[in-house]
């Protein structure tokens, strides 16, 4: 996993990479995440950055920690959507759509990307 040199902070990039692995099924419920120290070494990050990422994932109920045993992927729950989080995603999505329109990306391309993303694939188009 490579990190962008500009843009989102590293903890946010790691957060999204782990979430993507959960969504795509690479990480399954009950799978153990690497220890903070191990992840930090592998990803060339400060352990505090990894710790912050794991804490955020835990606060979002994506993972749970058992003291002395590690951090594990949580079983997805059918909880009520958080309207504040949904509004934040909608705002981000609208910003991306505006940028896409500005760049001349067609609605069909966007739809294709959304379908591929929900099917766990990556877009071949740039």
**For the chain, what is the largest distance between any 2 Cα atoms, rounded to a whole number of angstroms?**
52
CB atoms under 10 Å from CB of 9, counted, come to 12
Residue 2 lies in a domain: no
Based on the fold, state whether residues 91 and 111 are members of the same structural domain. Answer: yes
pTM for this entry: 0.71
Question: Which domain CATH number covers 47?
Answer: 1.10.10.10
| Residue 34 resides in a domain | yes
Tens of pLDDT along 71-112?
999 987 755 667 888 888 899 999 999 999 999 999 999 999
């Amino acid at each position: 996993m490579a990190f962008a040199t500009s843009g989102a902070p590293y903890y946010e990039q790691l957060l999204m990479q782990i979430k993507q692995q959960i969504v795509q099924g690479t990480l399954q419920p009950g799978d153990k995440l690497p220890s903070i120290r191990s992840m930090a070494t592998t990803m060339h990050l400060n352990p505090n950055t990894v710790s912050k990422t794991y804490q955020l994932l835990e606060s979002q109920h994506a993972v749970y920690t058992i003291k002395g045993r590690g951090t594990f992927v949580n079983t997805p729950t059918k909880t009520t959507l958080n309207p504040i989080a949904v509004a934040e995603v909608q705002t981000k999505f609208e910003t991306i759509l505006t940028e896409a329109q500005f760049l001349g990306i067609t609605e069909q391309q966007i739809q294709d990307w959304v379908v591929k993303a929900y099917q766990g694939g990556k877009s071949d188009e740039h």
